Structure 1
Amino acid sequence: MRIGRGRRGHLEITAVAKLTGLALSSAFLTSTLMVGQAKPAAKPKPALKPTFEREGQAFVKKYCARCHGADPVAGFDMTKAKTVAMVQAAGDGWDKVHKNVASKHMPPQGTPQPTKAERDLFLKVLNEALSVNCDLADPGRVTLRRLNRHEYDNTIRDLLGIDSKFAEDFPSDDVGYGFDNIGDVLSLSPLLMEKYLDAAEKISTLAIRSMARPNGFIVAGYDVKGGGASAEGAGVNFFSQGTAVAEPQIPRQGLYTLRITTSADQAGDELPKLAVKIGGETQTVEVKATRKEPQVFEIPFKSSGGKVPISFAFLNDFYDEKLPEGKTDRNVAVVEARILGPKMGAVSEKSPEGRLGLGAYPEDGKERDTAKAVLARFASRAFRRPSTADEVERLVRVYDLGHKAEGTYEAGLRLGLQAVLTSPSFLFRVETDPKVKAGNGLLNPYEMASRLSYFLWSSTPDDRLLELARSGAILKPDVLATETKRMLADPKAQALADNFAEQWLTLRKLRNFQPNPGQFPQFNEKLRESMLQETKQFFMAVVRENKPSTDFLDGKYTFINGPLAKLYGIPGVTGDEFKRVELKGNERGGVLSQAAVLSVTSNPTRTSPVKRGKWVLENILGTPPPPPPPGVGDLGDDNAILSTKDLRKRMEAHRSKPECKGCHARMDPIGFGMENYDAIGRWRTADDGIKIDSTGILPDGEKFAGPSQLKAILMKNQGQFIRTLSDRLLTYGIGRGLDRSDDCHLDAIAQKAKANDYRFQSLIVAVVQSDPFRKRSPEKKP
């Protein structure tokens, strides 16, 4: 319960004071009337309840003020907070104080240490000062969230079946709280808007190709050569030998049919012969037609699209005036040439046309109505909610503009599609305030479907989620649990590894890691990719097999291929294909012993105990150290080649500085516990003939030797790791940073997961069923 001092409290104190005053007056009167009688023994004063103002500040003065005083060398003045209100005003800093004192990282070793009773009392009063009423805990509000680059590409893939990396041309997304899907940092620059417009044009062209008209289109615009023919409207009349050429525009690749309607004047012993050339292929037809009875020929041809030359040539002109009237002159005519196609089979539901609902070309006069239905359906999918009548009418007006500009149904549809793909309702995930006068309301069903799909798939909701949103069933916690498990079994859940795991474990840094080629000649692009895939496949095994989340600390299995097996010294695995292997011994187990993590926490020429220790504090224990004080400097050249013995000496000298001691006392022992792994993750017992010293002493005095004992300590404190993982998942899932008001929710998530042995799917379900994921607090008016 958060302790406050309101008007009611002052009234109660005043009332007690008045009552006490009356009691004293009565006692005084009685004593004057009973002169000579013995005074009753005084009652002992009740013990005062410990408070932060008294016991807390006494602890700060005794143990903390040296580094955290008025001129704090460690960056946070703890002596300023004289009251509970002042502690709450600087809550984030005091949260870190609580974590560091509880973990015995503070006060640092080498400085006066509190007794267990002193430490426990300080933590108690500080916890009371920071605590909130969990019954009134605020679920928070998420800033309007733009789709990041990964979400944009995945959404286009699932909307239209076009799996291209359009977003690679977009500016990089900013990162906040460790992730690139945080609403507060996903801005929209003019350059990005220009990229959205370009991408929408490309996507619309790929999605909506020219459609087959029921009656095709007529070939026209003939160029007559040889003087033996004349072009008349859409036809050509050959009165002597000659050639007529046209170059119609074929809309798209496909199989077409050239339908030729001919007529002729028959004369002589032969039928009129007409050579038809399409592209590079020629076919000669004999025309039996007369002027009154035309004859139709159909010639199939393939085209890759674009302009295709089509020519007609009359080959056997004939004239003999001696013959009877009507039999003297042989002529031929192309009354009409019409191109039909492209020939289309059944439209696949997975194709862009199928996803848009495009079938046969609309009947004459029905184009606008059909376009309206297509755009309304697509807008509802793209906006992740039912499109409104007003939105659809605006899209139809855009269709009209495209149709008028280019004269085709397809051009209008393409422009309408571009309007949808550049709409704020598509580019942003909009969440409206709940319609409640007080308290915290649930998201609406469509907003819930979007939160769930972008959390687990980094993409738009599928048909099942949208149907559950339409019925409202998705708001039920048990339905959320069922859908979560279904979605985690779907191949699209790979997005959790690609986007959550890569950022939580800082794996994206691996792409820029360049170890010294002289020291590590075996490192190449194939090994880099293998390192990344090992950790991602391990992560997805924990997800899909519903393993305990503690497997991330010491799971005795992994996924390796030939290059990794050689790096790790594991026999029996060759080639590029990854295989699951069970790990034996104490050298490997969990992400801390995987080459990807060990590499991103190293320097190009050597390991970095500081980086590795800091990585564990941030990503495993959730107790990140503060930034180093200004002007402190570092160990020197990160590229310097140092033996582990020299490195320890340098770090010990660095740690002797008072302003560095506190944080390095936490980081360095953890990092040195991982020194058996070199800068690219190989196991070693010696460096340049000197035995590796992987011993360490934690701030609480606990000693360990090597990574296996370090992991045993982490497993012993697995509750802290689970809370950290819960924090990371909730931050990623809702797209905002967490604060003290979320502590109650994190505790509840961790407790639910604990009841199921911390299995990963149980942890995900607990996140999805939590209030911050399902609810949104209304806007607080000033």
Structure 2
Amino acid sequence: MEFRDGNRRLLPSRTLALILLSTITLGIVPRSDASNPDAFRERILPLLEQYCIDCHAEVYAEAGVVLDRFDDGGAASRDGKTWLRVLDAVEGRIMPPADEPQPTVEELEAIVSWIERDVLLSRAGASPPPPVVMRRLNRQEYDNTIRDLLGLDLKLSDAFPADEIGFGFDNVGSALNVSPIHVEKYLDAAERAMAAAIVCPDVEGMAPAELIGLRTYPLPIDGSVEFEHTLKPGRYLAEFSLVRVRVAESVPPPRLVIGFGSDRRTVEAVRVQDETVVYRYWLTVAEGDDSVIVALAPGQSESDVLGTEAVTALAGGDQRYGDDRGLHVDSMVVRGPVPTRPEGLPESHLRIVVREPGPGDEGRIEAAREVISRFADRAFRRPATAEEVEEILDVFLLAHDRGESFERAVQIALTGVLVSPRFLYLVEPEEAPGDRPLNDFELASRLSYFLWSSMPDAELFREARAGTLREHLRAQVDRMLRDPKSDAFVSNFVGQWLQLRKLDSVARDGALFPGFDDSLKAAMREETERFFADVLRNDRPLLDLLDSDDTFLNQALAEHYGIVGVSGEEFRRVSLEGRPRGGLLTQASVLTLTSNPNRTSPVKRGQWILQQILGTPPPPPPPGVPDLDEGEEAAASASLRERLERHRSNPDCASCHSQMDPLGFALENFDAIGRWRDEDAGIPIDPSGELPGGIAFDDAEGLKRALVETSAKKFRRTLIENLMTYALGRSLGPEDYPTVEEIRSRLTGEDDRLRTILMGIVESPAFQHRGTAGES
């Protein structure tokens, strides 16, 4: 018995293929094992000794797989990693080697069913699920979150580095690293987002009103200077200048109060000798305020504010200074008023700035605190703590105290929110070691990033605050799938599971395939996404994905398929009754991305079916194997099928190609961009073939029927594994396979639906728990 990690050897034996096909795809489970108290010792261990131990004993184990160290079923079943590798080898049809004795059908049935039942299913509840890695938002999730948080579709992530792929998906935490360039781009994006979302007052074009002229007014030590004004109520940008005339630099800077009747700012003059310093502050004129006031800071004695030397100097007690010595208010100019809610403010501004600043520092601070608290709650996807709000408020105060407007200070503070790890990462705090259920806010985020690739909406937040999300989970999933935002799930999951994202980079020989352009590629992808979405949202049978009698086309794609009667750019449901199409395998998107630039590729198409549909990817070709002869002379002398048959006469190639080629040849009537054809270069196409186990088919329709009849179990399991990986953002381990098998067992009769899989995932402990480090 042989297992290999890298270049794995597959068997061409029809007999063994039949054994494996019947075992894996039909799921035959011997009844005798079910009641045996130790099926491993009684039935499995003797088989291992007969077929496996020679290559997998502890002292010389091939590929590190040791199978002679288990005394009983209890010890064996605890090593889930090993048996998943065994199962993978079985499903990859690489055991035992062709030159070794072969197990009987019943013996292989016993091994496979024991792994599935006694190893995988028996682990249910035995240990907590593995943890989901704390991960950052990927680029799609970042853009969607900004869109739903601000109400602006800015596509800021176009400037970010590309996301890495892990286990087939770009939302897997272990692959989503953060580089220095990410940090720089996140800051740029946050600044752009807030600049677009919040409108700052534009007063530069407003005529200035001079309240105090250019002559200087000494500030008396024992009082204040007041100037009358006739300004309307509202906010104004005030520019005023102070000058310290002939006061020694050793005198500390004075603290002053300047402003209107009910809105005054306390400022501290800088140490400048005989020079004017200009200050800019935003101040509010309230109804009834009719004067500008400049005074020493109240509540302190002059000596406390200025120091004894300053008091003496300003009061005239120091004869070294003339009569003009002291502090002077040089001038004051204002621009405004700024309307409280000017017309034309964007929805993003109104969504964020939910409260206008009141007069005085306290009014501004309270308004800012409310704006920040509401925004942080949504950005962090949970209630922000008081400490977090105060940290953000400190940034607001720093900006506002240096003279920025209320809106600009809010912009600066909220920019900090958008570069916080609490926003950029999906965080599940480790309050204590070990596993725990997610709280409702954490569960809402997992759910929304699974089905929407974005943040929770107001209804999910309401359920989380009320603590009722788990109680209403099914209703929420149904609601979320009806929402147009679930298009992101369809696009992101289907685009990666079926590898449709690669379609964007597909090129074709223009002379051979005129008319193949970006518009046609976009239509191909949209057909597949709409078809998958229809199976999901309309609760169609799961196996419609493999074979169906309808699809979704617009005029361009219908003409590409040779179907008449479809006009316009809009996609609509089109019957395929009586046509050689139906299901994913015969859609132009799949057929195109699995072809070469100038011809079809039965090998790529067969490999795609094995990997994406059946979950048993063949190994990479061994080194040194020559490529298929693509020369003109070779192409003219033999059909592609004949050339591939010669190619796989090489023993190193035969085992893989015997699996891939029949699947790919069944699709040869479809050219390299998915159009129907009967001939290839004048040679009639032969799409017939035979699957392992002697299952023959005549064409693509026959292949689809064979897959539905013999490989439905494998297809369902592959789809569940991919959906769980996408939902959890991590690879699956042995602890997850009880969930996989439990969900698969639900897929019968009326429950053979995509929605059944999704509900099984979101209701599972793996989805609803934080998890803990374990065997995976």
Class of the TM-score when normalised by the shorter of the 2 chains: 0.7 to 0.9
**Matched residue, 2:492:** 499
The letter for the 1-side match of 2:730 is R
Quote the offset at 1:634 in angstroms.
3.6
Structure 2: runs of 5 or more not aligned: 1-37, 217-235, 238-331
Distance change (3 Å), C-alpha of 1:512 and 1:126: same
**Matched residue, 1:173:** 163
**Matched residue, 1:746:** 740
**Matched residue, 1:157:** 147
TM-score between both structures, scaled by the size of structure 2: 0.73
Q: Are residues 1:617 and 2:617 paired?
A: no
The letter for the 2-side match of 1:370 is A
The letter for the 1-side match of 2:591 is L
CA distance in structure 2 between the aligned counterparts of 1:418 and 1:148, rounded to whole angstroms: 19
**Matched residue, 2:409:** 412
Aligned counterparts, 1:55-94, within 5 A = 55-60=47-52, 77=63, 80-84=66-70, 88-94=80-86
Aligned counterparts, 1:476-487, within 5 A = 476=471, 479-487=472-480
**Matched residue, 1:186:** 176
Check the 8 A contact 1:156/1:162 in 2, yes or no: yes
CA distance in structure 2 between the aligned counterparts of 1:760 and 1:346, rounded to whole angstroms: 48
**Matched residue, 2:11:** none
Q: Are residues 1:389 and 2:393 paired?
A: no
**Matched residue, 2:198:** 208
CA distance in structure 2 between the aligned counterparts of 1:525 and 1:498, rounded to whole angstroms: 17
Q: Which is worse superposed, 178-187 or 404-413?
A: 404-413
Check the 8 A contact 2:44/2:110 in 1, yes or no: no
Equivalent of 2:542, from 538, 541, 549?
549
Equivalent of 1:515, from 495, 508, 519?
508
The letter for the 2-side match of 1:652 is E
SS in 2 for 1:776: coil
Q: Are residues 1:116 and 2:126 paired?
A: no
Check the 8 A contact 1:672/1:694 in 2, yes or no: yes
CA distance in structure 2 between the aligned counterparts of 1:691 and 1:520, rounded to whole angstroms: 20
**Matched residue, 2:766:** 772
Equivalent of 1:469, from 464, 475, 485?
464
Quote the offset at 1:140 in angstroms.
1.7
**Matched residue, 2:248:** none
Output one character per residue of 1:694-732: Cα deviation in whole Å (capped at 9) or x when no partner. 112112221112111111112113222122111111111
The letter for the 1-side match of 2:109 is D
- Matched pairs, number: 616
CA distance in structure 2 between the aligned counterparts of 1:760 and 1:423, rounded to whole angstroms: 36
Q: Which is worse superposed, 405-414 or 456-465?
A: 405-414
Distance change (3 Å), C-alpha of 1:77 and 1:781: closer
Quote the offset at 1:568 in angstroms.
0.5
Q: Are residues 1:219 and 2:212 paired?
A: no
SS in 2 for 1:580: strand
Equivalent of 2:722, from 723, 728, 744?
728
Distance change (3 Å), C-alpha of 1:186 and 1:514: same
Check the 8 A contact 2:639/2:683 in 1, yes or no: no
SS in 1 for 2:525: helix
CA distance in structure 2 between the aligned counterparts of 1:459 and 1:374, rounded to whole angstroms: 22
Quote the offset at 1:98 in angstroms.
2.9
Distance change (3 Å), C-alpha of 1:780 and 1:683: closer
**Matched residue, 1:352:** 348
Check the 8 A contact 2:43/2:110 in 1, yes or no: no
Distance change (3 Å), C-alpha of 1:207 and 1:434: same
Check the 8 A contact 2:357/2:368 in 1, yes or no: no
The letter for the 2-side match of 1:115 is T
Percent of aligned pairs sharing the same letter: 40
CA distance in structure 2 between the aligned counterparts of 1:50 and 1:781, rounded to whole angstroms: 27
Distance change (3 Å), C-alpha of 1:781 and 1:654: closer
Distance change (3 Å), C-alpha of 1:658 and 1:493: same
Check the 8 A contact 2:379/2:417 in 1, yes or no: yes
Equivalent of 1:369, from 349, 357, 366?
366
SS in 2 for 1:554: coil
Quote the offset at 1:546 in angstroms.
2.2
**Matched residue, 2:713:** 719
**Matched residue, 1:703:** 696
CA distance in structure 1 between the aligned counterparts of 2:51 and 2:82, rounded to whole angstroms: 18
CA distance in structure 1 between the aligned counterparts of 2:133 and 2:465, rounded to whole angstroms: 24
The letter for the 2-side match of 1:392 is V
CA distance in structure 1 between the aligned counterparts of 2:168 and 2:738, rounded to whole angstroms: 21
CA distance in structure 2 between the aligned counterparts of 1:519 and 1:781, rounded to whole angstroms: 53
Aligned counterparts, 1:55-454, within 5 A = 55-60=47-52, 77=63, 80-84=66-70, 88-101=80-93, 114-124=103-113, 130-131=119-120, 132-211=122-201, 219=208, 339-341=336-338, 344=341, 351-365=347-361, 366-433=363-430, 440-454=435-449
Check the 8 A contact 1:210/1:410 in 2, yes or no: yes
Distance change (3 Å), C-alpha of 1:557 and 1:186: same
Quote the offset at 1:120 in angstroms.
2.3
Quote the offset at 1:339 in angstroms.
4.2
The letter for the 2-side match of 1:766 is G
Check the 8 A contact 1:57/1:79 in 2, yes or no: no
Quote the offset at 1:99 in angstroms.
2.0
Output one character per residue of 1:5-28: Cα deviation in whole Å (capped at 9) or x when no partner. xxxxxxxxxxxxxxxxxxxxxxxx
Output one character per residue of 1:107-149: Cα deviation in whole Å (capped at 9) or x when no partner. 6889975432333244355557844422315322111110000
Distance change (3 Å), C-alpha of 1:604 and 1:47: closer
CA distance in structure 1 between the aligned counterparts of 2:575 and 2:685, rounded to whole angstroms: 26
Check the 8 A contact 1:695/1:705 in 2, yes or no: yes
Quote the offset at 1:552 in angstroms.
1.1
**Matched residue, 1:576:** 569
CA distance in structure 2 between the aligned counterparts of 1:757 and 1:125, rounded to whole angstroms: 26
CA distance in structure 2 between the aligned counterparts of 1:468 and 1:123, rounded to whole angstroms: 44
Quote the offset at 1:370 in angstroms.
0.9
Distance change (3 Å), C-alpha of 1:645 and 1:775: farther
CA distance in structure 1 between the aligned counterparts of 2:62 and 2:684, rounded to whole angstroms: 40
CA distance in structure 2 between the aligned counterparts of 1:648 and 1:175, rounded to whole angstroms: 34
Distance change (3 Å), C-alpha of 1:734 and 1:755: farther
Output one character per residue of 1:387-427: Cα deviation in whole Å (capped at 9) or x when no partner. 01111111011112222344321221111111100000000
**Matched residue, 1:8:** none
Equivalent of 1:672, from 636, 649, 665?
665
CA distance in structure 2 between the aligned counterparts of 1:679 and 1:136, rounded to whole angstroms: 50
CA distance in structure 1 between the aligned counterparts of 2:65 and 2:454, rounded to whole angstroms: 48
Output one character per residue of 1:7-63: Cα deviation in whole Å (capped at 9) or x when no partner. xxxxxxxxxxxxxxxxxxxxxxxxxxxxxxxxxxxxxxx99944544312422479x
SS in 1 for 2:740: helix
Q: Which structure is higher in RCO with an 8 Å CA cutoff and minimum separation 6?
A: 2
Check the 8 A contact 1:59/1:118 in 2, yes or no: no
**Matched residue, 1:457:** 452
Check the 8 A contact 1:449/1:474 in 2, yes or no: yes
CA distance in structure 2 between the aligned counterparts of 1:594 and 1:89, rounded to whole angstroms: 37
CA distance in structure 1 between the aligned counterparts of 2:633 and 2:481, rounded to whole angstroms: 45
Quote the offset at 1:496 in angstroms.
1.2
Quote the offset at 1:106 in angstroms.
5.4
Query: Which of the two has higher C-alpha Rg?
Result: 1
CA distance in structure 2 between the aligned counterparts of 1:638 and 1:397, rounded to whole angstroms: 71
Check the 8 A contact 1:220/1:233 in 2, yes or no: no
Equivalent of 1:564, from 545, 551, 557?
557
Check the 8 A contact 1:644/1:687 in 2, yes or no: no
Distance change (3 Å), C-alpha of 1:82 and 1:709: same
The letter for the 2-side match of 1:180 is D
SS in 1 for 2:469: helix
